[in-house]
Structure 1
Amino acid sequence: MSTPKNAIKNIVDELPTLLAVAVVETETGMPLASHVNVSEFDIETAAAYNTEVVKAKLKAINALKLNQTIQDILLTLTDQLHLLKLSADGKMFVYLAVNSRDTNLAQARQIMKAHTADLIK
């Protein structure tokens, strides 16, 4: 079984150009493990605000009475991709930020899925 720390290490090993990656507890918004390649990237703040995005989407799904679960959430910025992948129980999510010039969406999704499957099932 994968741990948050191992998942982060494996993602960084396979995607060394990433901006940041974290495994985040949904209830508190606190990273359980993280790695940042850009010194000005505040992973704790990013985790907290992305937790609010996840919680808002979960509330919307509930309010709309949709019988659906969130697979992932994609935020496309000018030159960055931010991908949030939720665990099946919604208790944690993996947050990955990459530069869209270095990494395409399919690559980011595949690497995240490969290294977090045990962690977020």
Structure 2
Amino acid sequence: MANMDISLKEMMSIDGALGAAVVDYGSGMALGTLGGSKDLDLQVAAAGNTEVIKAKLRTMDSLGLQDAIEDVLITLSGQYHIIRPMTGRGGKGLFLYLALDRGRANLAMARHQLRGIEERLEV
């Protein structure tokens, strides 16, 4: 089991990582962040991506879908943004957020690594 600081460091070790956060989607607040830049404000990203998760959960509820979100991928011209809701004990209501440089990242590997990090994270 890994703590938040270790998990954030592991997220930032993924090829192409630009910024990482663990976010409470009840409040929209980032519980921990690492990386980012003046062009990638992780606090703003945490709040905005909270709305993405809430909207998707509302839509799934309206459709009567009895499934869980594995991850949400947002593809920009120069970046990938992965939002992964936590499913483990103690992680309910939290998600991992990872921004990647599209030119340096391997999306399949990043998703695979993020799944492993989420499984090991103890909040």
Same fold (TM over 0.5): yes
In angstroms, what is the RMSD of aligned CA positions? 1.7
Shift of 1:119: 2.5
1:91-102 equivalence runs, <5 A = 91-102=93-104
3-state DSSP class of the match of 2:120? coil
Residue 11 of structure 1 is matched in structure 2 by 11
Give the counterpart letter for 1:80 in structure 2: Q
Q: 1:104 maps to which residue?
A: 106
Match of 1:22 in 2: 21
Shift in alpha-carbon separation, 1:108–1:16, aligned structure 2, 3 A: closer
- 8 Å contact kept, 1:22–1:31: yes
* Alpha-carbon distance, 1:16 to partner: 5.9
Does structure 2 retain, via aligned residues, the 8 Å contact 1:79–1:101? Answer: yes
Within-5 A mapping of 1:13-52: 14-15=13-14, 17-52=16-51
Asked whether the 8 Å contact 1:18–1:37 carries over to 2, the reply is no
Report if aligned partners of 2:15, 2:104 keep a CA contact under 8 Å in 1.
Answer: no
CA–CA separation in structure 1 for the residues paired with 2:48 and 2:3: 23
Distance 1:50 1:10 in 2: 21
Deviation, 1:107, is 1.8
User: Taking every aligned residue pair, what percent have the same amino acid on both sides?
Assistant: 34
- Which structure has more relative contact order (CA 8 Å, sep 6+)? It is 2
Provide closer, same or farther for how the CA distance between residues 54 and 90 of structure 1 changes in structure 2, counting only shifts above 3 A. farther
> Which ranges of structure 1 fall in alignment gaps of 5 or more residues?
none
TM-score, scaled relative to structure 1? 0.89
TM-score of the aligned structures, taking structure 2 as reference length: 0.88
- Give SS of 1:23's match: strand
Shift of 1:20: 0.7
